[in-house]
Amino acid sequence: MGENVTIKELIKDLNLENFTPDIDTESIILKHPDINRPALQLAGFFDHFDSERVQIIGNVENAFIQTLNDEKRKETYDKLLSYKVPCVLYARGIKPDEDMISYCVHYGVPCLGIEQSTTYITSELVRWLNVQLAPVISIHGVLVDVYGEGVLITGDSGIGKSEAALELVKRGHRLVSDDVVEIRKVSQQTLVGTAPDITKHFIELRGIGIIDVKALFGVLSVKDTQSIDLVIQLEDWVKNKDYDRLGLEDNYIEYLGNKVVCHVLPVRPGRNLAIIVETAAVNHRQKQMGYNAAKELYNRVQANMAGKD
């Protein structure tokens, strides 16, 4: 899994209200990307209780709580919070009663709130946790948003990745990360790339040094996260190597168990890498939309040969 995420980060990123500010939320770690609505637990059934998950209380749960007498309600709170759940989150602007806050303080469980609906916070929380807790690796490369396609440029040090990224930024595209890209697997189909905080928005150009892309080209030239849709591997041109000239079949590279389309691009003086990367991104999108230029050419050749017969 990725880095640990704390309740403090959860409160900050989702702008939650904290009803128990005296509890140390930085020391409470979330390890599970799912949530739980404790309806059965409030009714007294604790078998298979997912106590390590965020507990969300919405209208239904709160309405049931209101049907309990004082003694039964306190007993229910005591049992629920004795499992040391990571936090209790009230949706729809519902305010916890004094007994809930008292038991939360007693067991050191943060009690939080949000104005949005239960459905909204459930989906948003699961999405946020899946990103934060996703498996993560760091690779050497450059990630750029080109026409909405996330293009990861890899290759040996000094081959021209950063120069290509700078030219792409000059052409109106957006830099996500230079030199090191942190890749997270947020689903079985999606990889998301980000920059380490320390190098975010910076590019290293040999002979010039470090440049701040955001400061030089403006906020529209950078982006914090981007799905990885295409990988371009730069390598030195080898004269007698057989490079793919048609592109009938896609080649793939695998990160964290997910496959991504990969093109090997030979580099030699005179080749404009930025234009080639732009073209590769547009061509990839075109293939995703069902049109393959190589197959169209193949079909034309086949039709031409059949006509001659």
Q: Which domains does the chain have, with CATH numbers?
A: 5-132 (3.40.1390.20), 136-298 (3.40.50.300)
pLDDT digits 0-9 by tens, 111-160: 999 999 999 999 999 989 988 888 889 999 999 999 999 999 999 888 88
162 assigned ligand-binding residue: yes
Say whether 245 is catalytic: yes
- Given the residues 73, 74, 99, 179, the one annotated as active site: 179
Pairing of strands 88-90, 111-113: parallel
Give pTM, 2 decimals: 0.71
Alpha carbons 247 and 245: distance in angstroms, whole number: 6
| Neighbouring-strand partners of residue 212 | 202
157 assigned ligand-binding residue: yes
| Neighbouring-strand partners of residue 18 | 112
Check whether 8 has a pLDDT greater than 90.
yes
Say whether 284 is catalytic: no
Nearest 10 degrees: Cα torsion 156, 159, 164, 165? 40
84 assigned ligand-binding residue: no
- Given the residues 22, 70, 242, 245, the one annotated as active site: 245
Check whether 290 has a pLDDT greater than 90.
no
227 assigned ligand-binding residue: no
Furthest-apart CA atoms within the chain: distance in Å: 92
Say whether 161 is catalytic: yes
Check whether 2 has a pLDDT greater than 60.
no
Alpha carbons 309 and 304: distance in angstroms, whole number: 9
Q: How far is CA 44 from CA 49, 65, 126, 238, in A?
A: 11, 12, 26, 71
Alpha carbons 306 and 300: distance in angstroms, whole number: 10
| Neighbouring-strand partners of residue 111 | 88
41: phi then psi, degrees, rounded to nearest 5: -65, -40
257 assigned ligand-binding residue: no
Amino acid identity, residue 222?
V
What tokens were used for 9? 């980060």
Check whether 93 has a pLDDT greater than 70.
yes
* Buried-exposed string 236-273: b where 16+ CB fall within 10 A, e elsewhere: eeeeeeeeeeebeeeeeeebeebebbbbebebeeeeeb
Say whether 241 is catalytic: no
- Given the residues 37, 53, 161, 174, the one annotated as active site: 161
Check whether 245 has a pLDDT greater than 80.
no
- Given the residues 106, 127, 140, 271, the one annotated as active site: 140
